[in-house]
A and B are shown apart, each in its own frame.
Chain A
């Protein structure tokens, strides 16, 4: 019986010209978004890979130099594009593409792609995620708003009741039909996306992306299921199809239009981040109190010098068995690291608290939860940007340590000192592995829970509303 109902509903949906048109529009936009997302991913990924190799070659080919001068020259770390960014580029346009790893300083990422776009960009980008988060729920509203109210208005509900069809059978049949209609649209896109991934990504990246992609698909499924159940519940509860449509459209707007901005505002209000000026100024002040590596008469340096002289029992720097400049530079790095760890630690904690606040608000608007999860599984959210930034910073520190240790052990305190490619070669190549699915889930399970709770509540509401539905 359920199957018959489902088939009948599905047939009606497919025959409805307006629904067909709406579905077609969604399909066209989704395909365009995925196609261009895929092209973008391939271009940027290739660019970043070749740039990473170029920066390595530059590092190796820098010739004879003082190691500290090489440390100043540094290398660049280019943030790799994750394969699933073809579905959801997330915060990628608003985080920089590369960071310069040089001596003394933890730099900010440079060049946000959104700054290289017109103001039209701020309306939102056409991405796979945007279609899935904004348009597919709208399609669900159109499919479901009159599922019950329409039957009642046509008087067919009474007939069905007299035929002995149970409400649960009807509900399941209708739900299956909605699911079927949406899958009809999304499955081809999903398969095409998989094929595109398989064609372009390296095997390693592909293997890492599959579990993430599966998690993403499940989350979207859960979200759509919750939204569909909500439509069925409202349709059964509302006194007319018109009211059901108004309520559902209102919820849709709150969910996709108002909630993201308002949640960001609220998070920013309660957990404000410092201004870039205050942030930089505090760091500069903290660094100035310590050894800055360029200022030999600083108090800390004299203290350090005295300690070294005492340790090696000599009376001047020239007689030290270690290179004093190297020791001083490394001390400067160590001090700087403490300052940066504290400053960035606080900043990223603030961002984390803002994210947490939005996560709690997603209990009111599940759209926030799927937005959050989609970026997380795509690897394009802020925590994963920070993960890369931390890794790049560790690499920067390892460069400083390698260069300064070389100075300390090999440079003399009286003459010039140069190192060559044998030292540059000792620096391992920059390699980054994005965290796996478990890492993401450990952090983002609350959003998964929110979606599950929403689904449970809306499904229960759909069942209750269907049971209590009046025939007339």
Chain B
């Protein structure tokens, strides 16, 4: 190292340029970059297809709704003007119990967020629209699943999050497992160090070039394909731009995590093959093994009661309510009013409506504690997952990406809460009218407003992602510091 005093150190910019030329000359980084670009591009395209599918389904549902409501409006006008008589009281759309329970149902839909194509997340498993009625909420939330081959749900989709969480680390490992070891094994490390640069400086330059390379490929491809596949105004939505920016930041932080691991492993200074095995080992632990183990732990600590119990609870609650509230007439009406002699009179259906309101109310009250137990356990599970996700950066990043793309459990929880609110207002509108025995007029059809999903404020989303980012940043800093420390003791010759 005496040479240091005689030779002018190479400037950082020149060092980076030399390293970039080095990288380009090698074939494998190019191959890796092409594979990465393909995985990222395909992931975005796949996410966009799923987003289109959801949008299309919601569009169809809303079209069906407006056609149905228009038909009902006409029908009420005809009936009111005497041009038509309803076939039976059950087919009379003017009765609030018929309208609110089955004829005039409206959809509560959560359209995918503008960035939905960036992560499929939980959106393929959880329902994204409901048909709201005066019946208890569990009656329509349990039956709103999208159709999907269950094997496909089990596999998951090849979306951008998969490319990032599972595959990006492998590309990073592939491009950086032998950054120093290859030079040492080839004998070129000594040569390079003869140019009066420290190992650390050389290693940092090499890593900097690789970080820039991988991040450029990932973000440029992802954003380009997204811009092509998304609809033109995708960045015009409130919060889109800052959420997209956070997406870049979180992805970069995750990439840096893996680069810093590679840095440490390189710094420890074994030969290339053991570096590769060690890094793949880390990948296995963080990405493949930890999440399922954590999942199992969560389910063991906070087991969710069986839905079978819920079914039974709802049923026996309904039984009890019927038993208590039923005179012979009521029970008979519950059966089938139109089967009664002279059945289908509107007085009879009005009674039926009233009775049903009472039954639903009683059933719901007694089922409430059972439903609450589910909610309690599920939120305990979510809390435990939120605390322990730091065991694996893969979980942290997957959650953050889902959150930013709007396919997270959190957004779905909001949707459920907003649906519950809508359902409550729906009942407040119809139930008094049922009890008063009122009839709806044609203008009443439009009096009840359509459901509008309100997005969470972007601040809340960014705050959650900020916490995730902080967690990643701490581990990156720790790994980088360890790497720098180990680098000082690095053996130059193999």
CA A416 – CA B289 in complex, angstroms? 64
CA A455 – CA B415 in complex, angstroms? 50
B308 touches A47 (CB 8 A): yes
Stretch at the interface among B7-15, B310-318, B444-452, B481-489: B310-318
| 15 contacting pairs across A/B (C-beta < 8 A) | A43-B306, A65-B335, A66-B332, A68-B336, A69-B334, A91-B154, A117-B381, A119-B385, A123-B295, A124-B291, A264-B149, A278-B57, A281-B64, A298-B87, A382-B151
A107 touches B152 (CB 8 A): no
Cβ proximity bits B411-437 to A, threshold 8 Å, 1 near / 0 not? 000000000000000000000000000
CB distance from A37 to the nearest CB of B (A): 10
Secondary structure dominating the interface of B = helix
User: A245 an interface residue at 8 Å Cβ cutoff?
Assistant: yes
Cβ proximity bits B267-304 to A, threshold 8 Å, 1 near / 0 not? 00000110011001000100111011111101110001
B338 touches A294 (CB 8 A): yes
CB distance from A330 to the nearest CB of B (A): 14
Tell which of A121, A134, A358 touches B151, judged by Cβ atoms closer than 8 Å: A358
CA A375 – CA B150 in complex, angstroms? 12
A90 touches B335 (CB 8 A): no
A118 touches B289 (CB 8 A): no
A126 touches B293 (CB 8 A): yes
> Quick one: given A110-B311, A245-B273, are A125 and B292 in contact (CB under 8 Å)?
yes
> Quick one: given A119-B385, A296-B338, are A381 and B155 in contact (CB under 8 Å)?
no
Secondary structure dominating the interface of A = helix
Tell which of A93, A119, A123 touches B122, judged by Cβ atoms closer than 8 Å: A119
CA A355 – CA B490 in complex, angstroms? 53
Question: In residues 156-198 of chain A, which contact B (Cβ within 8 Å)?
Answer: none
CA A137 – CA B287 in complex, angstroms? 17
CA A268 – CA B49 in complex, angstroms? 11
User: A428 an interface residue at 8 Å Cβ cutoff?
Assistant: no
Q: Which residue of B lies closest to A111 (CB)?
A: B307
Of B53, B151, B166, B312, the most chain A CB neighbours within 10 A belong to B151
User: A351 an interface residue at 8 Å Cβ cutoff?
Assistant: yes
User: B395 an interface residue at 8 Å Cβ cutoff?
Assistant: yes
B residues near A (Cβ < 8 Å) are 46, 53, 56-57, 60-61, 64, 87-88, 90-91, 121-122, 125-126, 129, 142-158, 162, 166-167, 170, 272-273, 276-277, 280, 284, 287-289, 291-296, 298-300, 304, 306-312, 315-316, 319, 331-332, 334-336, 338-341, 344, 374, 378, 381-382, 385, 389, 394-395, 398-399, 402, 408-409
- Given contacts A72-B336, A115-B125, could you give 20 more A-B pairs where the C-beta distance is less than 8 Å? A25-B289, A36-B296, A44-B306, A66-B336, A95-B150, A97-B307, A117-B295, A117-B299, A118-B409, A122-B156, A123-B398, A125-B292, A126-B292, A130-B292, A135-B289, A245-B276, A260-B156, A268-B152, A275-B57, A351-B149
B151 touches A58 (CB 8 A): no
Tell which of A112, A118, A257 touches B166, judged by Cβ atoms closer than 8 Å: A257
Could you say which residues of chain A place their CB within 8 Å of the CB of B162? 261
Of A90, A113, A257, A279, the most chain B CB neighbours within 10 A belong to A257
User: A433 an interface residue at 8 Å Cβ cutoff?
Assistant: no
Could you say which residues of chain B place their CB within 8 Å of the CB of A78? 308
User: A13 an interface residue at 8 Å Cβ cutoff?
Assistant: no
Tally of contact residues, A, Cβ under 8 A: 92
Q: Which residue of B lies closest to A268 (CB)?
A: B152
CA A454 – CA B85 in complex, angstroms? 70
Could you say which residues of chain A place their CB within 8 Å of the CB of B374? 116
User: A114 an interface residue at 8 Å Cβ cutoff?
Assistant: yes
B156 touches A261 (CB 8 A): yes
A47 touches B309 (CB 8 A): yes
CA A261 – CA B90 in complex, angstroms? 48
Could you say which residues of chain A place their CB within 8 Å of the CB of B153? 91, 94, 114
User: A466 an interface residue at 8 Å Cβ cutoff?
Assistant: no
A267 touches B149 (CB 8 A): yes
A94 touches B121 (CB 8 A): no
Tell which of B90, B293, B311, B336 touches A76, judged by Cβ atoms closer than 8 Å: B311
A126 touches B296 (CB 8 A): yes
CB distance from B249 to the nearest CB of A (A): 20
A273 touches B147 (CB 8 A): yes
A118 touches B336 (CB 8 A): no
CA A112 – CA B272 in complex, angstroms? 46
Could you say which residues of chain A place their CB within 8 Å of the CB of B60? 275, 277-278, 281
User: A300 an interface residue at 8 Å Cβ cutoff?
Assistant: no
CB distance from A283 to the nearest CB of B (A): 12
> Quick one: given A119-B385, A267-B149, are A69 and B292 in contact (CB under 8 Å)?
no
A54 touches B312 (CB 8 A): yes
Could you say which residues of chain B place their CB within 8 Å of the CB of A107? 143
CA A262 – CA B166 in complex, angstroms? 14
User: A392 an interface residue at 8 Å Cβ cutoff?
Assistant: no
CB distance from B311 to the nearest CB of A (A): 6
Could you say which residues of chain B place their CB within 8 Å of the CB of A116? 304, 307, 374, 378
B147 touches A347 (CB 8 A): yes
CA A69 – CA B273 in complex, angstroms? 73
CA A82 – CA B339 in complex, angstroms? 43
A276 touches B154 (CB 8 A): no
Of A246, A264, A382, the most chain B CB neighbours within 10 A belong to A264
Could you say which residues of chain A place their CB within 8 Å of the CB of B146? 275-276
CB distance from B100 to the nearest CB of A (A): 17
Question: In residues 78-137 of chain A, which contact B (Cβ within 8 Å)?
Answer: 78, 90-91, 93-95, 97-98, 107-108, 110-126, 130, 134-135
Could you say which residues of chain A place their CB within 8 Å of the CB of B156? 122, 260-261, 264
User: A400 an interface residue at 8 Å Cβ cutoff?
Assistant: no
CA A124 – CA B292 in complex, angstroms? 6
CB distance from A327 to the nearest CB of B (A): 13
Tell which of B151, B315, B381 touches A91, judged by Cβ atoms closer than 8 Å: B151
Could you say which residues of chain B place their CB within 8 Å of the CB of A108? 143, 145
CA A33 – CA B381 in complex, angstroms? 19
User: A249 an interface residue at 8 Å Cβ cutoff?
Assistant: yes
Q: Which residue of A lies closest to B285 (CB)?
A: A25
Tell which of B125, B308, B315, B385 touches A97, judged by Cβ atoms closer than 8 Å: B308
B145 touches A112 (CB 8 A): yes
User: A385 an interface residue at 8 Å Cβ cutoff?
Assistant: yes
B298 touches A120 (CB 8 A): yes
A118 touches B149 (CB 8 A): no
Could you say which residues of chain B place their CB within 8 Å of the CB of A122? 121-122, 125, 156, 398
> Quick one: given A265-B46, A278-B57, A351-B149, are A120 and B280 in contact (CB under 8 Å)?
no
A273 touches B149 (CB 8 A): yes
A296 touches B88 (CB 8 A): yes
Could you say which residues of chain B place their CB within 8 Å of the CB of A94? 125, 148, 150, 153-154
Q: Which 3 A-B pairs have the closest CB atoms?
A: A123-B291, A69-B335, A91-B150
> Quick one: given A119-B385, A261-B155, A276-B146, are A125 and B296 in contact (CB under 8 Å)?
yes
CB distance from B38 to the nearest CB of A (A): 11
Could you say which residues of chain B place their CB within 8 Å of the CB of A298? 87
Could you say which residues of chain A place their CB within 8 Å of the CB of B294? 120
> Quick one: given A119-B408, A294-B338, are A355 and B151 in contact (CB under 8 Å)?
yes
CA A196 – CA B432 in complex, angstroms? 58
CB distance from B331 to the nearest CB of A (A): 8
A382 touches B298 (CB 8 A): no
Could you say which residues of chain A place their CB within 8 Å of the CB of B277? 245
Could you say which residues of chain A place their CB within 8 Å of the CB of B395? 120, 123
> Quick one: given A107-B143, A114-B153, A123-B395, are A98 and B291 in contact (CB under 8 Å)?
no
CA A360 – CA B72 in complex, angstroms? 50
A382 touches B150 (CB 8 A): yes
A277 touches B150 (CB 8 A): no
Could you say which residues of chain A place their CB within 8 Å of the CB of B149? 264, 267-268, 273, 351, 354-355, 382
Tell which of B272, B319, B382 touches A242, judged by Cβ atoms closer than 8 Å: B272
Cβ proximity bits A229-267 to B, threshold 8 Å, 1 near / 0 not? 000000000000110011001000100011011111101
